[in-house]
Amino acid sequence: MSILKHTLAYHHDSVRLFERVAHEPWAMLLDSGQMIEPSTGEPGSEYGQYDILVAKPIATLVTTGEHTKIREGGDEQFSKEDPFVLLNKLLSRYKAPAVDVPFAGGAMGYFSYDLGRRLETINDKNPAEDIPEMMVGIYDWAVIVDHRKQCSFLISHGLSVKTQEAWDDLCRLFDAPYVPIETSFVVNSAVEANFSKAEYQKAFDQVKAYIKSGDCYQVNLAQRFHADVEGDGWAAYKKLREISPAPFMAYMQLPHNAEECFQVLSNSPERFVQVVGDYVETRPIKGTRPRSDDATEDLAYATALQNSAKDQAENLMIVDLLRNDIGKNCEIGSVTVEKLFQLQSFANVHHLVSIISAKLHQHSTVIDLLKGCFPGGSITGAPKVRAMQIIEELEPNRRGIYCGAVGYISFDGKMDTNIAIRTAVVSKKQLSYYAGGGIVADSNGPNEYLETLDKASTMVKLLKFFKRRD
């Protein structure tokens, strides 16, 4: 089957295309944040070329606890097998030649932090979240918006007969004149956290005690925030991308059941794992300072971060962890640290970013690589398993999607995933999100607490915008 491709009108704002399907169950938008500055070789400068949007999957995988529900065509089955193995098996049935765009069909969805319980021994202290641990759709078509070439197109490998039959209807859907969706979103309560400042300090002190006793070198401690809301999560996402564009933004409209959906709003700045051909890349973030509206103060924050021995040490610990993680499925001797401690600045914070590359082993799949790195070391700590055990002991809630991953695995073998930080879930009239930071031997409790608030500032600004004003 030759590739199906239909040219669409280009618009800088991909909302104009996505709103045709935004309220479909399993609709997803991987949004580059429209950061289209010319590449300088520095972290973030090459982002922003592609937005990818999908809907109407030909198969789905939903993992809740020990069971994964697989729907394909009209068939439905349940399995207790490893969700990564199940995804590998399902994707292996769809073979397609390489194309010169990131995605013309394949798997897209989220892998929650709590999916890590299937991989490591972690005591289950906290109750499960009300959403599944993994939700992945298999899509046979996508709309690609290329901001560098300023073109848009509908594309498919045409592996499903349903896609071939519906192709003309899909073309008409995305060719039709744009009609904006008018929806509302309201925040009905103050934001509450699952730690008071004193409780956070107590948990921080316990982490420091574990570090002193030799249990670990670094632990990422996070707090959960939530507020009561009502209305359309898509309206909130549109405002989020306006307030704070980031290179790995995502929106997902996912079914709780036949009548009700929940929404994922991701504003992530961090790449988890990317694969193109056999080239593997990961870009851990460690080290944070706030932004300032005052240019002199903002530069001082950035300079202090770049010169911070503590933040560099924190970053280096995670670089070493990720070198080991990607090395499990990459050619021996191919793992290379391309850049260390590069400054990358976003709307609300400055970060230190490092770049690690490798060559995928010929006997490993991209899903083997993803599983071998999961969950990301930058949001657990080192050593990873002990850090995860400490997180479970000290945090009052399970993390859900936060610190998991969002992204795609294409039929032709490409993969790109984010670390799902700066990510909110709108479910059952509540919006929840997390913010955390890595604690090391010389961390300061009050400073770490303020860092979580700095990282949460974009979501705070978003909620203030929608606050009910009676």
Just list the catalytic residues: 270, 286
- Rounded to an integer, what distance in angstroms lies between the CA atom of residue 128 and that of residue 65? 8
Please say whether the beta carbons of 261 and 427 come within 8 A.
Answer: no
Please say whether the beta carbons of 239 and 11 come within 8 A.
Answer: no
Backbone angles phi, psi at 300, to 5 degrees: -65, -40
Helix (H, G, I), strand (E, B) or coil at 328: coil
- 3-class secondary structure per residue, 198-238: HHHHHHHHHHHHHHHCCCCCEEEEEEEEEEEEEECHHHHHH
Structural element, H or E, at residue 381: strand 381-382
Helix (H, G, I), strand (E, B) or coil at 29: strand
How is the chain split among helix, strand and coil, in percent rounded to 5?
30, 35, 40
- Rounded to an integer, what distance in angstroms lies between the CA atom of residue 245 and that of residue 17? 18
In this structure, is the dihedral angle defined by the CA atoms of residues 78, 79, 84 and 89, taken in order, positive or negative?
A: negative
Which of 326, 301, 283, 399 shows the shortest CA–CA distance to 44?
283
Q: How many CB atoms lie within 10 A of CB 17?
A: 24
182 Cβ contact partners less than 8 Å away, ≥ 6 residues apart: none
